[in-house]
């Protein structure tokens, strides 16, 4: 597995841990109230698990497993995937800053644009590697 996939997948696991922890606290709070501010963390639970875990794990595994090129740069240019990795994580925390810590709406807007940017950069890399066995 390439080093970049290892970084992306390990980061995804951190979000799984964070997301499940928040989810477990929310579940507990439903049965036996812990703190009134806890419901404010529901958007973070969703953000961590949908983008931090599911999307990020998919990116990490896809970078590793999509068909490689015959030439020297066998997985294509890594740069676009590195940019996607940074954009996705910056985006997640900007959205969390808005939804949990009441930062301004600009955080939400910039965060979502960063997440869309991550998808665009990742797709620009993966598009050329989405091929059949015959190479077409």
Instruction: Tell me which residues touch ligand HEM (CB under 6 A).
Output: 20, 23-24, 26-27, 30, 42, 45-46, 49-50, 53
Between residues 17 and 131, which has the closer beta carbon with respect to ligand HEM?
17
Say which residues have a Cβ less than 8 Å from residue 15's Cβ, sequence separation at least 6: 48, 49, 51, 52, 53, 56, 92
In the bound state with ligand HEM, the residue whose beta carbon lies nearer, of 24 and 116, is 24
Min CB(53)–ligand HEM separation in Å: 6
In the complex, least distance from residue 18 CB atom to ligand HEM, rounded to whole angstroms? 11
CA distances to 38, 40, 126, 129 from 2, rounded to whole Å, are 38, 38, 15, 15
């Amino acid at each position: 597995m390439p080093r970049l996939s290892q970084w992306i997948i390990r980061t995804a696991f951190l979000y799984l841990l964070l997301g499940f922890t928040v989810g477990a606290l929310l579940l507990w709070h439903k049965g036996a109230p812990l703190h009134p501010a806890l419901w404010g963390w529901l958007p973070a639970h969703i953000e961590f698990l949908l983008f931090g875990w599911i999307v990020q794990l998919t990116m990490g595994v896809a970078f590793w497993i999509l068909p490689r090129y015959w030439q020297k740069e066998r997985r294509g240019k890594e740069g676009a995937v590195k940019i996607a990795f940074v954009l996705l994580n910056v985006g997640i925390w900007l959205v969390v800053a808005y939804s949990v810590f009441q930062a301004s709406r600009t955080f939400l807007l910039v965060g979502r644009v960063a997440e869309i940017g991550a998808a665009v950069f990742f797709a620009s890399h993966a598009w050329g590697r989405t091929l059949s066995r015959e190479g077409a």
